[in-house]
Amino acid sequence: MHRATHRTLLLLCAGLALAAAGTGAHAIERIAPQVDTSALPAQARTWAEPNPLRGNTQAIAIGQSAFNQSCARCHGTDANGSRSPAPDLRRMGKVCLRIEDAALRQRCQGDADTFFIKSLRWGKQKFGIVHMPPWDGVIAPELAWALRSFVEAAPAQPSARP
């Protein structure tokens, strides 16, 4: 084969590989939630656990809206976990509610909060494959806590998954 043809073929292959990678990146594209968070208290602008907005009804409503805009296509509408393979987020930290000792319960919830925030900010990558994109810089702390408050408050009915 002629040298130039070889080069063209190589370039074509590289182009195809890039196009394929591009399609993959598109599938995990982040959709920034469009919500008004101005009503949320300024104290919530922190990454420090425990969740400063736990049980805050306004935060739950804002979190629900943001969730259905940005997370539902992978985690199911209202976090119902129907969209395999993304996990049902409503179960996170639920086990803490069974702890009677208030201080211990709060520590347990704090751990679950930390895991939630870490997962959200840095995403989920395994062996170079992005299962969930990182949201750091896209979702501000107070909105992250609103999302956390929403999934915690969402009723954990048996998931729609078989």
Query: Which chain residues interact with ligand HEC by CB under 6 A?
Result: 28, 70-71, 73-75, 85-87, 89, 92, 116, 119-120, 124, 126, 131-132, 135, 139, 147
Structure tokens at 159: 């998931």
Shortest CB 101 distance to ligand HEC, Å: 24
Structure tokens at 102: 């208030």
Shortest CB 99 distance to ligand HEC, Å: 19
Shortest CB 134 distance to ligand HEC, Å: 10
Q: Rounded distance, CA 78 to CA 150, Å? A: 9
Residue whose CB is less far from ligand HEC, 58 or 119: 119
Residue whose CB is less far from ligand HEC, 3 or 126: 126
Residue whose CB is less far from ligand HEC, 4 or 127: 127
* Distances in whole angstroms, Cα of residue 128 to Cα of each of 31, 41, 58, 116: 21, 38, 38, 21
Residue whose CB is less far from ligand HEC, 62 or 86: 86
Compute how many other C-beta atoms are within 10 angstroms of the C-beta atom of residue 108: 18
Q: Rounded distance, CA 50 to CA 100, Å? A: 18
Compute how many other C-beta atoms are within 10 angstroms of the C-beta atom of residue 32: 13
Shortest CB 11 distance to ligand HEC, Å: 31
